[in-house]
Amino acid sequence: MKDHSKSRELFERGKQSLAGGVSSQFRASERPHPLFYSRAHGSCICDLDGNEYLDFTLSQGPMILGHSHPAVADAVSRALAEGQLFGGQHLAELELAEHLKRLIPCAELVRFSLSGSESVLAALRLSRAFTGKPKFVKFEGHYHGWLDETAFSITPTIAEAGDELRPHAVPWTSGIGPGNDQNVIVLPWNNLEVLQGVLSRRASEIAAVICEPVMCNNGCVPPRPGFLEGLRAACDENKIVLIFDEIITGFRLGLSGAQGQFKVTPDLAVFGKAMANGFPISAIVGRQKLMELFATGQVIHAGTMNAQNGCVAAALATIQALEGESPEIYNRMTAMAASLRSRIIRSASKWGQVVVAQGMGPVFHLGFSSIGSIKDYRGTLTCSREKYRSFCDAMHDRGVRLIGRGLWYVSAAHTAEDIESCAQAADKTFESLANSRSASL
């Protein structure tokens, strides 16, 4: 077992000033307790007790180039030396917008924000103003931020969710303002027939459909063949705005995001995370006919910190680094993720463990389930959280940092040696789990 005594002491101290000892609820579930980190470089991260980990969380996804990438750090340092925040336009902001416009199929115009959550709400506001309709459709298990309007049916139980074809809009947390559920319609992911029926019957009410084009946050579930194409056609037919939430898929599946990968172009999309390799910036991009509502001021979008100098510099440097090595950098990350996924599956089978591992590009999900493959949110509920927690704990003791909900990220900084080390740690972990199970029988 690793020593976490300094982190434990700081966590206890932190609870006296930070609510719960953390600044994001996702960090509260880290085991054996939230850890305090001192440095990170490339594919590795170190805690204050001196423990080093191969990192497959990548800070919940943003670090596509790896930690402390020199080109990003240098660009940010140079930008901040000229000024931290102008509260006005600057050249790098324009250059970044031009990059996005060139790379992303739907990006005819661009606006910048700080977080994915606020960019999603801006996209929904645009959709309502453009269509004159109040409601939007989201899919069960898809995550579009923590704010009240979209925080529904993210991780509901079967009992809470209700009928598979007509799911309830289940609030993610207490404290969501009354009435927010009146404007959200929740549908099952990957069921085109149900989707088409609802959009047809309720077209006069629905302003937008929003989705993760790959349901990364739960099960890393890709769209079934034809689903996104059918979604696009149904939105066109019923005069509904299609929004892609590319906070995870953007710049991770490729320079043009999932819309480039699947050749389906939404009306609006939001980007963040990997776009700036760990710096807080997001983008709303979309068709001119919608984005012009921002341009004219008919729809208000604002933010004191929008397009902050250092964040823009980080995004430009990240995209330029990815462009400079594309497509090789994406081929390499995808190949490493596929190799690691297949090694994990083989090791699990060797030691009598039944797992499902699936994903796209350099991101995948691992769960303990006999389902074979996960097609929608309900499929993720077959995965044993207890077994995965035990797996993560054992991997952590072997120097591998993982996200507790089963999502794995591979970065450009990971090497073949990192993949081999992780695969060996997984093999030993499956062996220990098998021996532990045998001992308990």
Both 29 and 83 in one domain: the answer is: no
Q: What is the CATH number of the domain that holds 112?
A: 3.40.640.10
Both 32 and 77 in one domain: the answer is: no
Total tally of structural domains belonging to the chain: 2
Q: Are 92 and 312 in contact (CB under 8 A)?
A: yes
Residue 154's pLDDT is what? 97
Q: What is the CATH number of the domain that holds 356?
A: 3.90.1150.10
Instruction: Enumerate residue ranges in the chain where pLDDT < 70.
Output: 437-441
Residue 439's pLDDT is what? 55
Q: Among 276, 291, 325, where does a domain finish?
A: 325
Work out the angle at residue 368's Cα, subtended by the Cα atoms of residues 40 and 35, and round it to the nearest 5 degrees: 25
Model pTM greater than 0.85? yes
Both 302 and 352 in one domain: the answer is: no
Both 302 and 216 in one domain: the answer is: yes
Both 64 and 105 in one domain: the answer is: no
Both 30 and 163 in one domain: the answer is: no
Residue 436's pLDDT is what? 78
Both 240 and 96 in one domain: the answer is: yes
Q: Among 325, 342, 370, where does a domain finish?
A: 325
How far apart CA 105 and CA 291 sit, in angstroms, is 14
How far apart CA 213 and CA 324 sit, in angstroms, is 26
Q: What are phi and psi of 438, to 5 degrees?
A: -65, -40
Residue 74's pLDDT is what? 98
Q: Among 304, 325, 346, where does a domain finish?
A: 325
Both 177 and 152 in one domain: the answer is: yes
How far apart CA 67 and CA 54 sit, in angstroms, is 11
Both 429 and 345 in one domain: the answer is: yes
Containing structural domain, residue 347: 5-68+327-440
Q: Give the torsion sign (CA, 389, 391, 397, 403).
A: negative
3-state secondary structure the chain: CCCCHHHHHHHHHHCCCCHHHCCCHHHHHCCCCCCCEEEEEECEEEECCCCEEEECCHHHCCCCCCECCHHHHHHHHHHHHHCCCCCCCCHHHHHHHHHHHHHCCCCCEEEEECCHHHHHHHHHHHHHHHHCCCEEEEECCCCCCCCCCCCECCCCCHHHHCCCCCCCCCECCCCCCCCHHHHEEEECCCCHHHHHHHHHHCCCCEEEEEECCCECCCCCECCCCCHHHHHHHHHHHCCCEEEEEECCCCCCCCCCHHHHHHCCCCCEEEECHHHHCCCCCEEEEECHHHHHHHHCCCCCCCCCCCCCHHHHHHHHHHHHHHHHHCCHHHHHHHHHHHHHHHHHHHHHHHCCCCCEEEEECCEEEEECCCCCCCCCHHHHCCCCHHHHHHHHHHHHHCCEECCCCCEEECCCCCCHHHHHHHHHHHHHHHHHHHHHHHHHC
Both 123 and 169 in one domain: the answer is: yes
Both 54 and 170 in one domain: the answer is: no
How far apart CA 239 and CA 265 sit, in angstroms, is 15
Both 241 and 225 in one domain: the answer is: yes
Residue 441's pLDDT is what? 42
